[in-house]
């Protein structure tokens, strides 16, 4: 079996004769959450154009990520996956992108320092533009229009023009993803992410944060360690650099198909719209189009696992998506809710353990804890997010498995969307800066607090 010395993907072709797969085979399956485009000719023209455009990531990066995820499965890395619930075209700007990167960098600094292990950073960005919805339509004052499905599909304004699924949005989404990617890569390569200069990541409004002092102590500690090592060994350049990988929900299959390519000197197909696509909770049907599409691509894949998931469905999903138990291939992101995790996670862990299958367990403490207030505003309570995460560490420790990462919705903007946290945001505070068009996100301070909590909890769970 391939060990860490020989990269797991090096020569790995499927051992078993899998069911034949083709890039548009998903079209023969029931496809949930798909918009109805009204002009098939226009749609086809756009998809052909998209198919000619350059990919957003490369197969080398995708395979490198798979190796890193395999290391996380082996307990040698912790995964921090985070970003917006839904990116918007309007927010594809310098400030939003840089601020989001700053929060992720600061969180990962806290995690590296506290967990004493490398952190694998995966953004929910550069393509997180398509959203599943609970209903296909929305009715306001007797007018019914298609639901907003993310900027990749239609616009959020409640007019029939905005809500019409417009194929050209896929071309625009590709372009915005490329701009985001380009800026992130330039920042990271240009030194913004250099551990020698964590002060680059400071966000203006944070100075007054109750967490600032604790964070500054960590930064000083790391600065001291870097200076100490450089005194001994000379300037450290290479390993101080941090990388980002991209992920999004592989929801809009015509878009994903157009970005799925064969590349020279590699076998198989790669979805080059992002490094790490995931299958959402609403599209994980065994015979559904999303599972069919994802089984044939060579990217690492994640599945969102909610409280309704049956052990048998999970076993079959693992069989379909990772028949050869390839290291790094499959991540299970559980999102049960603070009130449901103790009931549902243990049975699923046992099912996976009983099959002896290799997965990376990641906790999304956001999506099972969404609630609607009397005012109609969607929020999440920090106490519930925290509780689900703490329980996740405990449940995995008790089962002898390892929680290898977290999946969060956060932003570097000073928003007030989730209640609680260090500043104890109340229902009244939500009105001050509620900007999300979809799910409520952690703001900078709440995100950093969660990173500190992960360090504390993970220390307890492994003691």
State which residue, 55 or 150, has the beta carbon closest to ligand PEP: 150
State which residue, 307 or 323, has the beta carbon closest to ligand PEP: 307
Q: Residue 281's binding partner, choosing from ligand PEP, Co ion, none, with beta-carbon cut-off 5 to 8 A by kind?
A: ligand PEP
Under rule CB under 5 A, residue 203 binds Co ion? no
State which residue, 113 or 121, has the beta carbon closest to ligand PEP: 121
CB of 281 to ligand PEP, least distance (A): 4
State which residue, 113 or 124, has the beta carbon closest to ligand PEP: 124
CB of 397 to ligand PEP, least distance (A): 24
State which residue, 100 or 304, has the beta carbon closest to ligand PEP: 304
Residues 415-454 contacting Co ion, CB under 5 A: 439
Q: Residue 187's binding partner, choosing from Co ion, ligand PEP, none, with beta-carbon cut-off 5 to 8 A by kind?
A: none
Q: Residue 304's binding partner, choosing from ligand PEP, Co ion, none, with beta-carbon cut-off 5 to 8 A by kind?
A: ligand PEP
State which residue, 33 or 59, has the beta carbon closest to ligand PEP: 33
CB of 366 to Co ion, least distance (A): 7
CB of 152 to ligand PEP, least distance (A): 13
CB of 439 to Co ion, least distance (A): 4
Distance in angstroms (rounded) separating the CA atoms of residues 137 and 169: 19
Under rule CB under 5 A, residue 85 binds Co ion? yes
Under rule CB under 5 A, residue 292 binds Co ion? no
Q: Which residues bind ligand PEP (CB under 6 A)?
A: 85, 132, 280-282, 304, 335, 367, 439
Q: Residue 335's binding partner, choosing from ligand PEP, Co ion, none, with beta-carbon cut-off 5 to 8 A by kind?
A: ligand PEP
Total residues in contact with Co ion, by rule CB under 5 A: 2
β pairing state of 378-380 and 370-372: antiparallel
Closest residue (Cβ) to ligand PEP? 280
CB of 305 to ligand PEP, least distance (A): 8
CB of 128 to ligand PEP, least distance (A): 8
Binding residues for Co ion, rule: CB under 5 A, are: 85, 439
């Amino acid at each position: 079996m391939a060990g860490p010395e020989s990269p797991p993907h090096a020569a790995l072709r499927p051992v078993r004769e899998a069911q034949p797969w083709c890039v548009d085979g998903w079209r023969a399956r029931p496809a949930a959450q798909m918009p109805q485009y009204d002009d098939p000719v226009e749609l086809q023209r756009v998809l052909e154009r998209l198919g000619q455009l350059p990919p957003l990531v490369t197969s080398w990066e995708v395979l490198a990520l798979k190796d890193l995820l395999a290391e996380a499965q082996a307990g040698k890395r912790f995964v921090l996956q985070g970003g917006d619930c839904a990116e918007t075209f309007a927010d594809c700007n310098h400030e939003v992108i840089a601020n989001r990167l700053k929060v992720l960098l600061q969180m990962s600094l806290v995690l590296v320092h506290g967990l004493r292990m490398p952190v694998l950073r995966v953004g929910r960005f550069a393509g997180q533009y398509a959203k599943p919805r609970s209903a296909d339509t929305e009715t306001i004052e007797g007018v019914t229009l298609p639901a907003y499905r993310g900027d990749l599909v239609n616009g959020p304004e409640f007019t029939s023009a905005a809500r019409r699924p417009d194929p050209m949005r896929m071309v625009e989404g590709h372009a915005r993803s490329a701009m985001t990617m380009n800026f992130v890569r330039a920042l990271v390569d240009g030194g913004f992410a250099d551990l020698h200069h964590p002060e680059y990541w400071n966000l203006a409004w944070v100075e007054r944060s109750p967490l600032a002092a604790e964070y500054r102590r960590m930064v000083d500690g790391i600065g001291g360690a870097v200076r100490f090592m450089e005194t001994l060994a000379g300037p450290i350049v290479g390993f101080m650099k941090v990388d980002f990988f991209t992920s999004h929900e592989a929801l809009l299959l015509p878009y994903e198909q157009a970005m799925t390519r064969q590349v020279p000197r590699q076998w198989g197909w790669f979805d080059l719209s992002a490094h790490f696509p995931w299958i959402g909770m609403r599209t994980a049907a065994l015979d559904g189009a999303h599972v069919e599409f994802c089984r044939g691509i060579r990217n690492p894949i994640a599945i969102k696992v909610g409280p309704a998931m049956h052990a048998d469905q999970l076993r079959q999903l693992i069989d379909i998506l990772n028949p050869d138990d390839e290291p790094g291939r499959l991540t299970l992101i559980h999102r049960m809710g603070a009130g449901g995790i103790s009931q549902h996670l243990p049975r699923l862990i046992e099912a996976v353990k009983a099959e002896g299958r290799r997965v990376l367990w990641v906790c999304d403490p956001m999506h099972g804890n969404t609630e609607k207030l009397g005012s109609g505003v969607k929020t999440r309570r920090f106490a519930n997010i925290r509780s689900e995460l703490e329980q996740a560490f405990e449940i995995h420790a008790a089962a002898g498995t390892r929680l290898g990462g977290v999946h969060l919705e956060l932003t570097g903007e000073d928003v007030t969307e989730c209640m609680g946290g260090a500043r104890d945001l109340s229902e009244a505070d939500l009105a001050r800066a509620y900007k999300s068009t979809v799910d409520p996100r952690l703001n900078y301070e709440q995100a950093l607090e969660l990173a500190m909590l992960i360090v504390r909890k993970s220390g307890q769970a492994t003691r």
